[in-house]
Amino acid sequence: MSNSCELILGLTICYLGTYITSMKNAKPIIERVQTGVRIEKRLLKVLKGLAEHLDMSVGDLIEGIALHSFESKAPFSAETLAKIAQLKTVYDLDWTAADSHTSKEAEE
């Protein structure tokens, strides 16, 4: 009996002795890199608060937001949007999507 796996039509098929199993739901292997990103101070506080609330890292949260946006999908449930509204109030974030391309950075 030999054990081997191969990629066939986007599916990982594993031959385990006389049994054949599909790993269709196997998680893809990814490579993460460290990056320095400049982001508005209050927005980062809201993201950190939300990540803590959802028990995930800020990086995982940003990845999820980006991947959902790339597919024109809403990244948040109504419950999570309510939490975001609370965090925006706590951290005095009145900045909106409309402001993202019209803002001016404070001089240091």
* Closest residue by Cα to residue 23 from 34, 15, 12: 12
- C-alpha 20/C-alpha 13 separation (Å) is 7
Range 91-105 average pLDDT:
86
DSSP state of 56: S
- C-alpha 77/C-alpha 105 separation (Å) is 31
| Residue burial 6-25, b: 16+ Cβ < 10 Å; e: rest | eeeeeeeeeeeeeeeeeeee
CA 50 distance to own-chain centroid: 12
7 pLDDT band (50/70/90 cuts)? Answer: low
- pLDDT digit string, tens, across residues 69-89: 999 999 999 999 999 999 999
12, amino acid identity: T
Q: What are phi and psi of 3, to 5 degrees?
A: -110, 125
- pLDDT digit string, tens, across residues 50-64: 999 999 999 999 999
pTM (predicted TM-score): 0.70
